[in-house]
Amino acid sequence: MNAPARLPGRIGPRTLLFTTAVPLTGWAVHALALRRQIADGRKDPLTGLLGRAELLAHVQRQLRRSRSGLHVLMLDGIRFKAINDTFGHAGGDAAIRTLGRRLASWSAGRRALAARLGGDEFAVSVVLDPATALSEITALREQLQQPFPFEQHTLHLGVTAGIARAADLPGEDAARILRGADTAMYRVKKGEATFPYCATRADAYVKTVNGRRAGRRGTHLLAGAA
d(CA 88, CA 80): 11
DSSP 216: S
Q: Return the beta strands (E) in 33-166 as ranges.
A: 70-78, 111-118, 121-127, 148-150, 153-155, 158-165
Residue 164 · residue 199 · CB < 8 Å: yes
**Can 120 be counted among the known catalytic residues?**
yes
How many CA atoms lie within 13 Å of 95's alpha carbon, on the beta-carbon side?
30
Question: Which of 76, 120, 182, 203 is the catalytic position?
Answer: 120
Strands 111-118 and 158-165: unpaired
CA atoms within 13 A on the CB side of 111: 15
Task: Return the active site residues.
Answer: 120
